[in-house]
Amino acid sequence: MAAIISISDRIATITGGNVQQSFFMKDVLPIPQQGVIFSLWTIPGLPGAAANPTTVAAPTRATLGAIAFTNPTGGRQKWLVHTAVGGLQFGSMTIYDRLLHIGGLSGTVTTAQTVGGALTRYTNGVGNLAYFEVYTNIGTSSTVTATLSYTNDLNNAATATIRVGGTSSTPRARFQAQAFPLNAGEKGVKAVTSVTLSTSTGVAGNFGITVGHPLMTLMGGDATIETMADSVSDVHSLLPAPEIVSEACLAGMVQSTLTNNARFKYVGLLDMVEK
């Protein structure tokens, strides 16, 4: 099917009466750190909090924690044509398809920890990113790096390294996540072999590797509960419209612009059409 790439096409699909809406809300009480990416996967709200992953798995729309939607029918495709997000003291939100995840990895193991598994969507790897995601605090050692061994979209073995402990800009605490950078010439991650820590973080904790396919990012402002509606950031015309593939596990990540925020709350709406 053809993508939605023009204003007229978008208007035609919306006015055709087949707009479907998905609502989500997350409310949590940790203290976000400025510039740090926070995963909403295990945070309570609507949808409910997902369980920390254990062995490697490929989540779908039926997995607890996924934003609800229905698969397209009749040979059609589903497209995201409008989205709106409001929040208390936040900077940006990314909606992504959570393709694969594993948890139960240890911050004190310095040999390669196996990831494995197989993608069931976006299997060519293009547009996929791998994230270091923390489920239980893994310590604050400032010298620890994590090296990811993976297969890129070119079917070549590759590695990428990030620092994972010691400052507020690295994912040492629960909910935090950090993307591994792609190398020159790569367009995404096709499979992940393992992750290796350079040294112990000092605390075993619980972390994992997540492979996601980002669909869109919204920037937002700050608000109180009473004025949160005024801080809603929305995109009325996403062109070309991102496709929501069948069985997508839709989830969110946010990046705070402030420090010492005692609470953060997010509400959002996704409008989708079939064509």
Task: Give me the mean pLDDT over the 235-260 stretch.
Answer: 77
Average per-residue pLDDT for the chain: 83
Whether 152 is in a domain gets the answer yes
Whether 195 is in a domain gets the answer yes
Model pLDDT for residues 117-150, shown as the tens digit of each residue: 999 999 999 999 999 999 998 887 778 999 999 9
Whether 228 is in a domain gets the answer no
Task: Give me the mean pLDDT over the 23-49 stretch.
Answer: 80
Rounded Cα–Cα distance for residues 12 and 4 (Å)? 10
Containing domain of residue 154, as a range?
27-69+87-216+246-264
Whether 82 is in a domain gets the answer no
Q: What pLDDT score was predicted for residue 271?
A: 84
Whether 114 is in a domain gets the answer yes
Whether 11 is in a domain gets the answer no
Whether 272 is in a domain gets the answer no
pLDDT band at 167 (very low <50, low <70, confident <90, very high): low
Q: Is the pLDDT of residue 195 over 90?
A: yes
Are 100 and 68 a contacting pair, CB within 8 Å? no
The pTM assigned to this predicted structure is 0.88
Whether 234 is in a domain gets the answer no
- How crowded is the C-beta side of 264, counted as CA atoms within 13 Å? 30
pLDDT band at 227 (very low <50, low <70, confident <90, very high): very low
For residues 229 and 67, the model is more confident at: 67
